[in-house]
Structure 1
C-alpha cells in the first residue's frame, strides 16, 4: 500500500498544538483566521490540504482509505475525493450532509462483507450537521459505515457510500472553522451568537455563512431569538462575491418590502456574522438588484454585554462592588441585600434589582422597594438568577421540579424544565441577553454535564417556557460545583478535578470544551469577570481569587458571598 497523507500535515499538527495551548478559561468567541480577501469568496487564510488522487492498481481497502483522507479537503467541491467514486455516484454523493469527527486511534480496519463491499467501524467524538451545528457524541460506541465497490476502466471505485465525511479529531479544527451567526433577542436589544462550523474552503465560506444566516437559527434557539430577514429570502445568484475585503450580498426581491429599520437590522446581522468571523472589512447589501440608500448597519442592539471589572461581593456585613480593599456604595440595593445575610445573589445590569438566596428562601430586593419580597421558599433551593428584564428565576436541586419565575412582586409563575438523564440540578444561570438558560447537572451515572435551553417569551417579554435542552456532554470533572457565563458564547464551570483539587473548564456553546484549568484550593463559587478571561473565584475560607499568570492571586479576604452580575449599563 503506497503511503498517503497531506502535504500540510506538519502545519496541521502545529495548529492543533497552538489551539491546545490556548485552551484556557474562558475562550472569548470562536477562533477565526485572518488574511486578505480577494476574488469571489476566496483567500480566507485557511490551511490548504492537498490529498492524493487514486493510483493505478489500488485495492478496495486502499481506495477506501484514500477516499476518507481526500474527503477532508473541500477544495473545488471535494474534487479529489470524487475521483475515488464511480462516475455515476460522484455526482450523487453529498459531502456537506454531515461530518463525523472520530478518534482515529480507535478507527478499525476495513472489514470485508459479502459481495464487493467493505465496512468500517469508527468511534465518534462529535457530529456536525448540514447547517453547521456541532454536537458532542453522546456515546463513543462504534458506528459502522458500509461502502460498495465496482471496477471502472479496470480500477476499483466506490459505487455507494454514506453521505458526509469522516474526519479525525486531530484534524478537525484545521479543516473546519467556527463562525458565529448573529440573530436578535425578541426585543431587538441584543445580538445573540449562534455558532456554526463550516469546512474552510476558500471558495465557499462567506456564501455558507450567509445561506445559514438566511435559513434561521439552530433548532434549539428557535423561539428564543428572531431574525430581520423575511421568510423565503435567498441569495440572488447563489453566492457572495468578496473583493479586497468587501463582501457583496445580493438578496432576492422577497426582502424588497422591508422598511428602513428592518433593512438596517438585516445589514447588521450580515455585517456582524461576516466581519466578526472573517477578514471582511465591509458588507454591501442589495435587494432585488437595488442597493438601499438608508443602510447604516447600526440598530442600537448590544453585542456581547460585559460586566463591571470590579467583583460584586458581600463582605464585612456590606454588599457592593469591590474597589481595592473597600466596597462601593450600591444605594438602597446594597443595604437591602446585606440585611438578608445572603449566601448567593444575582444583580441586574443597572444594579437596581437582585435575586437573593438567604435564610432558606429566594428574595427579590429592589432599590425602589423598601422591604425584600420573598419569591420562593421551597426546600433545597439553589442559587437564583435574574434576567435582563428583572425577572427572577428560582429552582431547587430537583431537576424535575418547575422553575419559579417572578417579576419581583411576590407573584410567581412556573416554567417546566427537562434536563435529560439528570439526577441533580447543581446550578443554573440566565445569559446576560436573556435568551438562554445554562444548567449544570449531575447525571444518573455521576457525570457533570452542561445543558443549555432557549428561553421563549410572550409578546410582553414574560418567559413562558424553555426550549428543548442541548446536552454538551461530560465535562470531565469529578463533580460540578458552580457555573458562570463568561461572555455571550462561553460558560465556565467550576468543579472538582478527578486528580484532586478543583478545576475550571469552559464550554463554547455550539463548540468545543477547553482543557481544564487548575482552580484555587477550596473553590466554591465562580462569577464572570472583565475581561472575560479573568473570572472571579471564591474559596470556602472567604478568599476572592483571580487568575494571575499560571496561578491564582488573592484579591480580597473575608468575603462571605460572590454575586453574579448580569452585565452593566
Structure 2
C-alpha cells in the first residue's frame, strides 16, 4: 500500500470510530427514502448527506445548530443550508469559500439580542482553492452570527462564509487530488495536493487548478508546461471511454511539440486519482492537437528505490539481508571507514553524502571523498538529484548551505524560524522541496519548504515554510515516505512513536516501534519505512505493529 493510501486508511478508521462514538446525526436513520444525485462517470460512489431545512418556530440557537449541520449537503450549491438564511443574505453567503474541520462540539454564546457566537477548536481549514491547512494551535475559533425575523421565523442575516464539518463528514464529501507540476529540469513531477468536493465535476476542478498554477509556497520551485494564460475553453471536461478531452484556449498554440507532450503528461498525472480517466486528448478551441510521445524523456512521478535496507554494518555501507551486507561498489568500505553518523546515497548510487563528527563529506564511487562543510554540529546532510549537498547546523536554522560537486559552498537564504534546533533536513526525491523537523524546546515542529534556484540551477533560497500537523513527543528524526507523505519519529517519554502526515493533508499515528528508536528512513511508501533502534535492530511496519527484520546495523542510510 502506498504511503498516502495507508494514511487515508488510518485516518478513515480513526474518524469512523469517532463518528460512531459521537453518535453523529448527519446521516438520517428515519423518514422517507429520498432520491440522491445521479452518479456520473467522473465521480466515485460516495455517501450523500441529505440535511433537513428549518423546523418551524425554531429558536435562534436551533437555527444556528441546524444551519451548521446543513453544511454537509453541497447539492444545488448548498440549497438546504441557504434556507436558514434571510432573503437578503442567502445569495451573498459563499459556502465554498472555506471549510473548517471541527472534531468536537462547539459552544454557543449569546453576545446580543439577535447575535450569537459559536466557538470550537479546529483541527484544519480548507480554503476556496482546495488547500488543506492543519491547525498548529489549540486556540478556539469563534464565529459570529446575526439573526432577523422573516414571516415570524428566525433566519440568519449575517454569517461567515464557508462551512464547518466534523472529520468524518469532511472525509466523506471531500477528496484529495494532487495536481502535478515539474521541477525546473522537467525530469520529475512534483505533487501539489488539493481537496475538492467528491461529487462536483472533479476532472474539471483538477484541470482548472493545474492551469491556475502552483500553490503560493511552491511558486519559484516548480514550473508548468502550459503556456502562460492557458485556460479551459469549455466549462467542463468530457470523458469518453476513459479518455479525457481537454479543450484549451488559444494561448496553448504557442507550445512546442515537446511542451505539448509535457502538458499531456502533466494532466494525466493530475487525473491519476480518477479511475475513470486513463488517457488525455488535447485540443485548442475544438481543434485536436498532435502530441508526440516523450519516450525516454517521460517524467518520473514518485520514483522508487531498492527494497533492501541500506545500512552501515561490519565497517561497510551496503544493502543488507538477515545474513549479510552487499557493499556498494567503490563506496562501501570508504564510507564505513569514515565513522559516519549519517549517510544518504544518490539515486544512481554513485555518490554518498556522509555526516561525521568533523562535518559533511561527499564520497564518490571512485573512492574519493571531499569535506564539503566543516562546520561543527551539523544536522545530517542531504543530497538533491543535481548533486548539491545541503547542510545546516543544528543550532542555526538560518545558516543553510548548498555545496556543488566542485566543492564550492553557496549560502542559501533561509526562511526557517530562528530559535529552534534542526533535527532533520531532507530534500525530496524530486529536488523541489525539503522536509524540516525542528525541536522547539522539546516539542516537535514539522515544516516543508520549496527549494528556489537561479537560472543556472544554483540554490539561492528556501520558500515560505508550510507547517504540517506536529507529531506528539520530542522530535528524533523525519523522512519522506513518498512524494506526498512524510514520516516522523518522536519520543513520547513512554516509547517511540511513528507518525504520518500528508503534505497538504491530514495526519495519523503509525504505531510504536519497540525499544528506543534513533533513525527512520523512507523506501517505497509508508509500508516500506524502516526504523533503527539503539540496540542496532532494523524494524519495519507490519499491519499496526513494527516487526524486527532480522537485520542488525550500526547505521541506517537513506536512498534517494
TM-score, normalising length: structure 2: 0.89
Aligned to 1:458: 454
Contact conserved, 1:75 with 1:203, CA < 8 A, in 2? no
How far apart are residue 171 of structure 1 and its match?
Answer: 2.2
Aligned to 1:404: 401
Matches within 5 A, 1:60-459: 60-105=60-105, 107-109=106-108, 111-200=109-198, 202-242=199-239, 245-294=242-291, 296=293, 300-368=298-366, 370-420=367-417, 422-444=419-441, 446-459=442-455
How far apart are residue 492 of structure 1 and its match?
Answer: 0.8
Residues 291 and 152 of structure 1: CA distance in aligned 2, closer, same or farther (over 3 Å) = farther
Distance (Å, rounded) in 1 between the aligned partners of 2:533 and 2:89 = 61
The higher-RCO structure (CA 8 Å, 6+ apart) is 1
Residues 404-431 of structure 1 deviation map (CA, whole Å, 9 limit, x = unaligned): 2111333211113233365211111100
Task: For residue 92 of structure 1, give the secondary structure of its aligned residue in structure 2.
Answer: coil
Distance (Å, rounded) in 2 between the aligned partners of 1:80 and 1:61 = 18
User: Which runs of 5 or more structure 1 residues have no equivalent in the other structure?
Assistant: 1-12, 22-36
Contact conserved, 2:101 with 2:122, CA < 8 A, in 1? yes
Aligned to 2:509: 515
Residues 551 and 159 of structure 1: CA distance in aligned 2, closer, same or farther (over 3 Å) = closer
How far apart are residue 323 of structure 1 and its match?
Answer: 3.8
How far apart are residue 520 of structure 1 and its match?
Answer: 2.9
Contact conserved, 2:227 with 2:254, CA < 8 A, in 1? no
Contact conserved, 1:67 with 1:81, CA < 8 A, in 2? yes
Contact conserved, 1:240 with 1:249, CA < 8 A, in 2? yes
Confirm or deny that 1:560 pairs with 2:558. no
Task: For residue 328 of structure 1, give the secondary structure of its aligned residue in structure 2.
Answer: strand
Paired residue total: 532
Matches within 5 A, 1:434-513: 434-444=431-441, 446-476=442-472, 478-498=473-493, 500-513=494-507
Aligned to 1:525: 519
Residues 203 and 540 of structure 1: CA distance in aligned 2, closer, same or farther (over 3 Å) = closer
Residues 321 and 557 of structure 1: CA distance in aligned 2, closer, same or farther (over 3 Å) = closer
Contact conserved, 2:447 with 2:465, CA < 8 A, in 1? yes
Task: For residue 123 of structure 2, give the secondary structure of its aligned residue in structure 1.
Answer: strand
User: Which runs of 5 or more structure 2 residues have no equivalent in the other structure?
Assistant: 1-8, 18-36
Aligned to 1:25: none
TM-score, normalising length: structure 1: 0.88
Contact conserved, 1:256 with 1:288, CA < 8 A, in 2? no
Residues 421 and 251 of structure 1: CA distance in aligned 2, closer, same or farther (over 3 Å) = same
